[in-house]
Amino acid sequence: MKLIKPKKIIPRTPIEKFTGVKTKTELFIKRDDLNGLLVSGNKARKLEYLIADALNKNCDSLITCGPTQSNHCRTTVVFARYFGLTPYLFLRGKPKKFSNGNLLINRLLDAKITYITPSRYYKRRIETMAEFAQKLIKKGKKPYIIPEGGSNEIGALGYLDCMREMEEFIKNKKIDAIYCAVGSGGTYAGLLLGKTLLNLHLDINGIIICDTVEYFTEKILKICEKAIYRFNLKIKINPKDLKLIAGFVGPGYAIPYPAELKTIRKIAKSGIILEPVYTGKTFYGMLQDIKKKNYKKVIFIHTGGIFSIFSFNKILL
């Protein structure tokens, strides 16, 4: 099968030198937070491919799931509205009287939201979306299901692109490592596919922000395997290339901790906004990790997520 042609609506993003913290390692930031506004961050790269696949299949609606402040859900809703599709969301949690951040945008764009309990979400989100899709099909609709975080072999192509964008810079500057957040694994899988395909010699370090290294190892290898098979990529992933780092989740998913918040406030003084769910934990984790390694130059992938900060206003200030 040929590679899917993406619906290109986001621009290439710059890689900037970052001097806002003192480290022995030179830091660069890949500014994927600057690739747009409503459609922005890592989810936009994945959705360029997912929406292309949905449109190729003549679908008229998108179904996806996530937590109430999911950046992925917001980006999916905006993509759906841009391209004239109806967005359906299954959100983990309870409806709230006051909607802010990503949820406010989802509601403003009139996403069709169903709230489900955490236990149903964790045990049956895939089945729940499939059953709902069947109901829509019976009504004559053509839904397209996007998995949590847009993380499958199609979404991952967005980060294969990102690796291509960075290839020249990585080679010219002799970059030793990349750091990115791992929340559903698609970003990491795409970067790993890109590194292998382009034969780049650098570490890709993924800071996990939920679950376990074992869980993500299996999930990421599966996404890569499926991409290699489906798109006939002439590569083999070496499991030893997976460098997933635990220890920075803190008390749990989307629960910030003091050292992380201190980092977010410090970095904000340089005009870069990190958020407490993904990029705050990852940046803090990177600063700790580079102390133990002999890297001269690293790139932090800023995966976006600006709107979620509005749901953390009390704790951030």
Ligand X SMILES: Cc1ncc(COP(=O)(O)O)c(C=O)c1O
Q: Which residues are catalytic?
A: 70
154 binds ligand X (CB under 6 A): no
Cβ-contact 43, 301 below 8 angstroms? no
**Shortest distance in whole angstroms from residue 297 CB to ligand X:** 22
| Contact flags string 277-296 toward ligand X, x per CB under 6 A | -xx-----------------
Alpha carbon distance 120, 249 (integer Å): 23
Instruction: Report the C-alpha gap between 159 and 188 in whole angstroms.
Output: 8
Instruction: Give the strand pairing for 143-145 and 61-67.
Output: parallel
Strand partners, 88: 63, 112
Q: Note whether 256 binds ligand X by CB under 6 A.
A: no
**Near ligand X by CB under 6 A: residue from 42, 68, 69, 311:** 42
Residue type, 307: F
Q: Which C-beta is closer to ligand X: that of 13 or that of 187?
A: 187
CB of 135 to ligand X, least distance (A): 27
Number of shown-chain residues binding ligand X (CB under 6 A): 19
Q: Given candidates 149, 194, 250, 276, which one binds ligand X under the rule CB under 6 A?
A: 149
| C-alpha–C-alpha distance, residues 76 and 44, integer Å | 8
Whole-Å CA distances, 185 to 44, 120, 161, 210, 244? 15, 21, 16, 11, 10
The stretch among 106-114, 131-139, 179-187, 284-292 that binds ligand X (CB under 6 A) is 179-187
Q: Report the site for ligand X in 59-88 (rule: CB under 6 A).
A: 71-72
Interacting residues with ligand X (CB under 6 A): 41-42, 71-72, 149, 151, 181-188, 278-279, 303-305
